[in-house]
Amino acid sequence: MDRLQAMTAFVRVVETGSFTAAARRMHMGQPAVSKAIAQLEGQLGVQLLLRSSHGLTPTSAGQRYFERVARIIAEAEEADRAARDSTASLDGRLRVALPTTFGRIQIVPRLGAFLAAHPRLDVDIELDDRRVDLVTEGIDIAIRIGPMNDSAVIARRLAQGRRSLIATPQYLATAPLLDTPEDLPNHQAILYTRGGTLKPTFRRPDGTEMTIPLHARLHLSAAEGIRAATLAHLGLTIAADWMFQPELASGTVVRCLKDWDLTQVDLWALYPAGRLTSARARTFSDFVQRIVNAAPEQRPP
């Protein structure tokens, strides 16, 4: 057995917890797998596995070795698939991290077309607003909204989206006058907990700019909370239009200060650094890009 096969055998043993299960996955005999691990340990001069009545577990050295070798094996398998047929339907498993609200509104309802196009592909989606560690959590691709300052990932900008000052008609009916950004200190804003004080800059087509701090009594840690509070008429918020697209279309919420623009927000696809980006991840990012670029602009008349 060559070095790559021995490394593959080690990865499969750690994944399955036994020589027998690893041999079954590799379609080879159990003695050959056991011999390959012994040879690998001899070449490295360290013990990789602890053998007990409860099964096989990696030693501390084995765990470090596994974390690196597993990536090498995954990249080798991805290279094999790409070489066989770059146009073939995807297979295997894709792990995706999506912001909760963006994923729920924009992506999950449209997943049927992606799954139908790749019937041999399994997709695991993590809906979470936190910034996940792609390598530690085994994520193939993460979609992120906002500024990009993470040097530990490979980032690809998929789109830019409009941001708006948004409120319900019911809130505006009882709130103070809102004709210019200078009126905003008289209003209740709904802001992200982790965002700190928000001082957005509003711009008019003639070049006029105003930077106005928003006053907020209510701070929430997730976009779902921002949506719920806004829809409950508790105040106004600044958000990407993607996050309120259904409500903007129905009139449940409206844009305020329509003659003023806010800086657009970036949508990114993130891939783990230091490894080959899989065809599965690239295809999914293309799928997301098509969705957001097809979303209605919804500018006021």
**298 DSSP 8-state letter:** -
Instruction: Parse the chain into domains and list their residue ranges.
Output: 3-84, 92-158+266-293, 163-263
Report the amino acid identity of residue 265. Answer: V
User: So what's the pLDDT on residue 88?
Assistant: 56
Tell me the fold of 3-84: Arc Repressor Mutant, subunit A (1.10.10)
Q: How far is CA 129 from each of CA 17, 104, 144, 220, 248, rounded to the nearest angstrom?
A: 33, 12, 9, 12, 22
User: How would you classify the pairing of strands 265-272 and 216-220?
Assistant: unpaired
**More confident: 94 or 133:** 94
What is the CATH code for 163-263?
3.40.190.290
Residue range 150-169: average pLDDT? 90
Q: Is the pLDDT of residue 49 over 90?
A: yes
pLDDT tens for 258-284 read: 999 999 999 999 998 766 678 899 999
Top mean-pLDDT range of 49-53, 70-74, 128-132, 229-233: 229-233
User: So what's the pLDDT on residue 98?
Assistant: 96
CA dist., res. 3 & res. 44, Å (int): 11
Q: Is the pLDDT of residue 195 over 60?
A: no
**29 DSSP 8-state letter:** -
User: How would you classify the pairing of strands 216-220 and 189-192?
Assistant: parallel
Architecture in CATH for domain 92-158+266-293: 3-Layer(aba) Sandwich (3.40)
Dihedral pair phi/psi, residue 87, rounded to 5°: -100, 0
Residue range 194-203: average pLDDT? 76
Dihedral pair phi/psi, residue 152, rounded to 5°: -90, 5
User: So what's the pLDDT on residue 300?
Assistant: 38
Residue range 35-40: average pLDDT? 93
- Asked if the domains 3-84 and 92-158+266-293 are classified in one and the same CATH topology, the answer is no
